[in-house]
Amino acid sequence: MNEYWIAILVGVLCCSLCGAHAGTARKSVQLTVYNSNFALVKDVRSVKFTKGIFSYELEDVAAKIDPTSVLFKSLTAPNSVVILEQNYQYDLISPDNILNKSVGERITFTRFNERGEPITDSGILLNPPQNGGITIRTDSGTIVLNPSGQISLQKMPEGLHPRPTLSWLLQCDRDGEQETEISYITDGINWRADYVALVNQDDNALDISGWVTLTNESGASYENAKLTLMAGDVRRLRERRLDRYDEDGKPIVMELSKDQFEEKPFFEYHMYAMERPTTIRNNETKQLSLLNASNVKVIKEMIYDGRGDWWRAWWYPGRTGHPGRGYDTSDYHKVNIVLEFQNSKENHMGMPLPKGKVRVYKLDDTGSIQFIGEDTIDHTPKDEKVRLYIGDAFDVVGEYKRTNYERIADKTIEESFEVKIRNHKASPVEVKVIDHVWSDWKVVKSSHEYTKKDAHTIEFPVNVPKDGEVKVTYTIRTSW
């Protein structure tokens, strides 16, 4: 930045803004933040009204405000004030903006002669800043390029504001002070849930804590705000728009605290209301405690799905042709590790869980905490199961292949499969072998008992001895 830019900024900020009534300080502010990168701001202020038609400017609004969402009302006398016109002014005070709006105006500047002595001169600004440079025509007709000293202006150009401003033309039927509420939607505020779980040594219980991570990049700060978080899939129509203003610098502040949110349903969503006010500064990331639960019963499962997701590519409802022709032997050998627990009061939980990432840890033999995997959960109501796929077993592997394919009728086939589970651990393990079926199917032969999980999934629970192998064979008849 050249020296004269700094001089302009220092000089003109001393000028007074004229015209409309200035916005008063907030009495209170409420913030409802949605986990879709927007928030509803409810700003209560005491405003001195003038009878008749007058202008009023409200500063400290978010830079990423949606001006079409603004709702203004008087809490003192709701029918006494009418908004005739509203403007959102986001042309902010800066050296470049000041010079852009001062083209053709007389300015005073300092330049240096050939002996290096400062000379104060004046002239007309001929162009806005271009590539960091300006052009001035002095009273004597000399053209001066890029003076390196202080530049002064007689007055602040109209239309510039120190911060984004809502400007209203109001009509009021009385004089006096009234309490008002201004509500609007702004982008740039988001929250997410993050969970941390610690599994015990027997893998049958865990402690879990939940954190809210709130990020504010809306271009405004909210002092002592009443904070509510909204979880759910809220539909919002979007229009393409540009961010108009962003402050320099992005400090990150981490604030850790105890469980402090009260959850309650609202419409078809869930609200999490914070019990105490908090300050949310612009360009800040804040963490707040959401939940804490101990001794949550959990089930660890090992699952081998030999076909994996690729089975969807060869057969799906509505597809024509013969099933079974597009696959043969799978090369997927991973046995998945899944943790499952019930989100219920009986299991020391029961709060509707907003979607987020769950990081899972476990204590090793020395008492140190080790990271063992992570997964994401969707919005989960109370009394529903939470399933976390946290990784794949190292010492347990699977092998899946089709051993026979026969078309026994025009629209009927029989397929035989073989699944091997090998356990290289020093202790036995239980593994659930999963396979997928379509159309009208029937297991006509099987070496192990199986469970029909749904119309397209069967499950074979098997116990694999230490350093041993189990082979599961079955034949499926499919008609369509």
Q: What is the mean predicted confidence (pLDDT) over 34-41?
A: 89
Element (H, E) at 227: strand 222-231
Per residue in 443-453, pLDDT (tens digit) is 999 999 999 99
Give residue-wise pLDDT tens across range 5-18: 434 444 444 443 33
Residue 347 and residue 291: Cα distance in Å, rounded? 14
Degrees, nearest 5: CA angle 327-328-330: 100
pLDDT at 236 over 50: no
Flag the least confident range among 123-132, 249-258, 408-417.
249-258
94 has pLDDT over 70: no
Taking residues 158-171, what's their average pLDDT? 75
Beta strands 165-172 and 151-153, pairing class: unpaired
Range of the domain at 107: 95-153
pTM: 0.67
Q: Which residues lie below 8 Å from residue 265, measured CB to CB, with a gap of 6+?
A: 271, 352
> Which of 119-133, 143-157, 166-180, 237-251 is most confident?
166-180
Tell me the chain's radius of gyration from C-alpha atoms.
34
pLDDT of residue 317: 42
d(CA 379, CA 270): 10
Q: Which of 153, 169, 199 is the last residue of a domain?
A: 153
**CATH number, domain with residue 147:** 2.30.30.760
Domain count, the chain: 2
Domain assignment present for 16 = no
Residue at 68 is within a domain: no
For residue 23, is it within any domain? no
Give the pLDDT confidence score for residue 127 in this predicted structure.
Answer: 80
Q: Which of 153, 180, 195 is the last residue of a domain?
A: 153
310: domain CATH number? 2.60.40
Residue 425 lies in a domain: yes
Q: Which of 153, 170, 202 is the last residue of a domain?
A: 153
Residue 239, both tokens: 């229009």
Question: Is 262 a residue whose pLDDT tops 70?
Answer: no
| Mean residue pLDDT across the chain | 80
Looking at the domain assignment, is residue 421 inside a domain? yes
Q: What does the alpha-carbon distance between residue 37 and residue 13 come to, in Å, rounded to a whole number?
A: 34
Residue 337 lies in a domain: yes
Query: Residue 330's pLDDT is what?
Result: 72
Is residue 176 within a helix (H) or strand (E), and if so which, with residue range? Answer: strand 176-187
Q: What is the DSSP annotation of 361-407?
A: EEE-TTS-EEEEEEEEE--B-TT-EEEEEEEEEEEEEEEEEEEEEEE
Cα–Cα distance measured from residue 201 to residue 298, given in angstroms and rounded to the nearest whole number? 12
The answer to whether residue 305 sits within a structural domain is yes
Amino acid at the residue 372? I
- Percent of the chain whose pLDDT exceeds 90: 41
Q: What whole-number distance in Å separates Cα of residue 182 and Cα of residue 170?
A: 14
pLDDT above 50 for 329:
yes
What is the per-residue pLDDT for 325? 57
| pLDDT tens digits, 348-404 | 998 888 889 999 999 888 888 999 999 999 888 889 999 999 999 999 999 999 999
In a domain, 130, yes or no: yes
CA distance linking residue 216 with residue 281, whole number of Å: 7
Which residue is listed with tokens 């079409």?
68
